């Protein structure tokens, strides 16, 4: 038994040593009380890294897994809401950056959920982020995951009567995606957008990157496409991007109406467009 434990410990340490240490914000790993957002859609992420649980009669869907090591926290959140962690059947990700897919390998290995991601981010997911066009080339940032299904623009993910539409919004990564879904509660149906906001990393050159010549063009496409989206509830991959803490405090009663915020979305998109135009001018 001691020998086996030693082998397991050695393997774990070896895997950890292979990962590049990335700069992280404290809010990315800070705990946050899980809660019901609307209907069968729940928040199970951290203070700033948003993870979403979609509950269905045939199993559940987890969108985004946070940083490497976040699997234990997500498990606690799922179970605190009264659901089984092992009921997660599908893993989705807005994009293949270490702060959104970091725990995907651990969760997939533990419960066997199927990993689905846009086709253009699948290679990055499979090499632990090493081929990312901005942060890559210096080793793995998270444990690699081979996608079970490659998603394309407007593909539909179906499970237990739920349908989630993947919208390809490239730029932040080649395969960055937002998700649209209709969620019902006791009173009405809400059209929900989980947006992959088109923020631009400081290292990104919109004139073109060696691994992504059309990055500037793709950002322009995404900003125009996202400004025309129609929805009721606006969420995003970072809690700060949709002002979660201003709209919901731990212990607040169920109130999906607080997430109806078209004005906030439009203001954010206008700011992102202005930044995009400024960055374009710098090339």
pLDDT on residue 283: 60
| 10 pLDDT above the threshold of 80 | no
| 5 pLDDT above the threshold of 60 | no
Which pair of structure tokens corresponds to residue 54? 């979609």
187-223 pLDDT tens trace: 999 999 999 999 999 999 999 999 999 999 999 999 9
Name every residue whose Cβ is closer than 8 Å to that of residue 238 and which is 6 or more positions away in sequence.
48, 49, 50, 197
pLDDT on residue 274: 98
pLDDT on residue 242: 98
Judge residue 8's burial from the number of C-beta atoms within 10 Å of its C-beta, 0-12 exposed, 13-18 middle, 19 or more buried. exposed
> Which of 38, 47, 44 is CA-nearest to residue 245?
47
What's the whole-number mean pLDDT along residues 254-258?
Answer: 98
- Assign 6 a pLDDT band (cuts: 50, 70, 90): very low
pLDDT on residue 18: 84
Pairing of strands 114-118, 88-92: parallel
Q: What is the 3-state secondary structure (H, E, C) of 166-198?
A: EEECCCCCCCCEEEEEEEECCCCEEEEEEECCC
| 17 pLDDT above the threshold of 70 | no
Query: Do 258 and 247 touch, CB atoms closer than 8 A?
Result: yes
Across the chain, the runs of DSSP E, i.e. the strands, are: 35-38, 41-43, 52-56, 59-63, 88-92, 114-118, 149-151, 156-159, 162-168, 177-184, 189-195, 233-236
What's the whole-number mean pLDDT along residues 4-13?
Answer: 35
Entry pTM = 0.93
Judge residue 107's burial from the number of C-beta atoms within 10 Å of its C-beta, 0-12 exposed, 13-18 middle, 19 or more buried. buried
Pairing of strands 162-168, 114-118: unpaired
Which pair of structure tokens corresponds to residue 179? 């998700």
| 9 pLDDT above the threshold of 70 | no
> Which of 195, 255, 224, 222 is CA-nearest to residue 37?
255
The helix (H) or strand (E) run that includes residue 105 is helix 104-111
Rounded CA-CA distance 143/188 in Å is: 40
Span of 15-19, 204-208, 211-215, 252-256 with lowest mean pLDDT: 15-19
What's the whole-number mean pLDDT along residues 28-52?
Answer: 98
- Assign 14 a pLDDT band (cuts: 50, 70, 90): very low
| 62 pLDDT above the threshold of 70 | yes
């Amino acid at each position: 038994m001691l020998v086996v434990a030693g082998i397991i410990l050695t393997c774990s340490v070896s895997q950890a040593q292979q990962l590049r240490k990335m700069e992280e914000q404290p809010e990315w790993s800070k705990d946050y009380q899980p809660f019901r957002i609307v209907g069968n859609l729940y928040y199970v992420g951290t203070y700033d890294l948003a993870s979403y649980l979609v509950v269905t009669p045939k199993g559940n869907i987890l969108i985004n897994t946070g940083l490497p090591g976040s699997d234990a926290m997500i498990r606690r959140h799922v179970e605190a809401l009264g659901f089984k962690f092992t009921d997660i059947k599908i893993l989705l990700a807005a994009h293949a950056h270490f702060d959104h897919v970091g725990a995907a390998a651990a969760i997939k290995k533990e419960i066997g959920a199927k990993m689905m991601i846009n086709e253009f981010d699948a290679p990055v997911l499979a090499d632990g982020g090493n081929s990312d066009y901005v942060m890559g080339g210096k080793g793995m940032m998270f444990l690699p995951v081979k996608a079970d299904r490659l998603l394309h623009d407007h593909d539909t993910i179906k499970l237990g009567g739920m349908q989630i539409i993947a919208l390809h919004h490239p730029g932040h990564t080649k395969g960055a995606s937002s998700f649209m879904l209709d969620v019902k509660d006791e009173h009405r149906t809400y059209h929900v957008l989980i947006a992959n906001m088109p923020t631009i990393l400081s290292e990104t050159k919109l004139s073109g990157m060696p691994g992504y010549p059309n990055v500037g063009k793709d950002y322009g496409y995404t900003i125009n496409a996202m400004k025309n989206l129609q929805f009721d509830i606006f969420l995003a991959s970072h809690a700060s991007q949709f002002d979660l803490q201003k709209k919901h405090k731990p212990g607040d009663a169920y109130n999906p109406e607080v997430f109806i915020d078209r004005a906030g979305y439009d203001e954010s998109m206008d700011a992102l467009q202005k930044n995009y135009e400024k960055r374009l001018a710098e090339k």
